[in-house]
Amino acid sequence: MAMRRALTPLRIIVALAAVVAIVMALWQLQRGKDGLLITTATVGQTPVTVFRQPSATKAPVVVIAHGFAGSQQLMQPFAQTLARNGYIAVTFDFTGHGRNPVTMVGDVDEPTKITGVLVDELGRVTDYARKLPESDGRAAVLGHSMASDIVVAYAVEHPEIVATVAVSVFTRKSTATLPHNLLVIVGALEPQMLKDEGLRIVNQVAGGNAAEGRTYGSFADGTARRFVLSSGVEHIGVLYSQDSMRESLHWMNDAFGRTGSGWIDQRPRWLALLFGGLITLAWPLSKLLPRAAALPMGASLSWKQLLVTAIVPAVLTPLLLWKAPTDFLIILLGDYLTLHFLLYGLLTAAILVLIRLRGSRAAPNPTRPHAQELAALGALPDPAHPRVAIGALVIAAVAAIAYNILGFGFALDTYLFSFMPIEQRVHLIAAVACGTIPYFITAEWMAHGQGAKRGAYALAKFCFLASLAVAVALNLQKLFFLIIIVPAILLLFLAFGLISNWTYKATNHPLPGALANAVLFAWAIAVTFPMVIR
């Protein structure tokens, strides 16, 4: 069980190609900031970032607000696009989100509590932005998803706001005259209700005949309205769409009577190259992990056993948690997800134990000690080398966790969402891990072993996502925002499932990959979901 250090020529070539891809992607992503002066500040306790050209003076400001479970980083494409075209773009972390240390109090659906707090916070940031020395005093606001309602509500209360852009909008705050110069953007792959809402808002001016892609009203008197679809994107992709960037820029230019260079942020391709490179690099690096077991470890389930182990927890977990209290953590939905992971893992473990006990009773071998019998069945590491196996497991697990958190963490925190935790969130990672660790250990164990069935891992993850869908259907009002999160969980399953599979093939043990994924998911949930005291 020695450390596997030798890389084949193919793996060396793949590693070099992955490194080249990562470096090229980082270079191109940083080029998007060329010519911009980017500064940070705090308004009260709200973290704020200002994007502008050094030569920009007496320019309008555009305050950009993220949606539920988002942070400033998600809105960088809009900020850099507008700043590169002469505007002063300002992003910030809402209360309870990102690196904002203030915890929200109340219910997200309660307009007199959290919504009112967020509108006030937007107002303070906008006041700060308008008073910047480089500002000409004029302002526009742009918001996504949850923040679309916030920016519309604020612009209705403040008619001096020249223009508003509402992305993935749902609001009841707009009227036939306010907010001034309202652009509505919805992803073409988003739910129909958001498209209907966009048309409804524009029809307040169009008189019931609104069509996508047409501008109604007049910028001169502030009644301009337009509804557009960003092609080929959904609720998150709409933030990176060329259509979204172009429409927003043209809308601001028309509202403020300005022109710019026409530069549009094009980061999706470079983000794909960056994360593709990081995922690909894990394949050759996995060759360096120590082998922790002589034979592939795992449950080694038959198809019948696999189906039972995968389906039963998927059905029982949402039913058992349907009426369970889930307000024990201050991260909204994080408490429910923690319980869902935990119960799902415990149910899976119970089924695996029952299968193992039934199998050991059915085919005992009196010539071998019980520990060796279990080792042969894949329930324990090889007892012939217990210390080497344990040491190898520790080294492999630490390496896998470090790659997931550090290797991906920098890129995620810099270009996608707030990933590095503030002090108030550190303990939450440990709390959520109490649920993710049992789930990922049992999920990896059931999918592997000698003779493991092809597709077992995919089946396990599909059943888990299906169980979340059932949970949302049973309690739509409380778990509605999980609809937004499930696609992100799917992407994480796909990307880090590949890495854990390579880790397993290198170590012959599911534990390192399971722990790495468990820590990653606990980390991501704890640092992204909003902090709320209910």
pLDDT of residue 57: 85
Token couple for 402:
């470090």
Q: Which residues pair with 331 in a beta bridge?
A: 531
- Could you give the CA distance from residue 455 to residue 505 in angstroms, rounded to a whole number? 15
Q: Tell me how crowded residue 76 is: count the other CB atoms within 10 A of its CB.
A: 26
Nearest to 69 by CA among 530, 533, 382, 532: 530
Taking each helix axis from N to C end, the angle separating 386-402 and 511-528, rounded to the nearest 10 degrees, works out to: 30
Is 488 within 8 Å of 418 (Cβ atoms)? no
pLDDT of residue 97: 95
Could you say which residues of the chain have pLDDT below 50?
Answer: 1-4, 109, 111-112, 365-388
| CB contact set of 362 (below 8 Å; sequence gap of 6+) | none
Is 265 within 8 Å of 77 (Cβ atoms)? yes
Length of the chain: 534
Is 513 within 8 Å of 318 (Cβ atoms)? no
Backbone angles phi, psi at 89, to 5 degrees: -100, 135
The DSSP letter of residue 295 is S
pLDDT of residue 323: 85
| pTM greater than 0.95 (yes/no) | no
pLDDT of residue 106: 66
The DSSP letter of residue 254 is H
Query: For residue 455, is it left (φ>0), alpha (ψ between -120 and 50) or beta?
Result: left
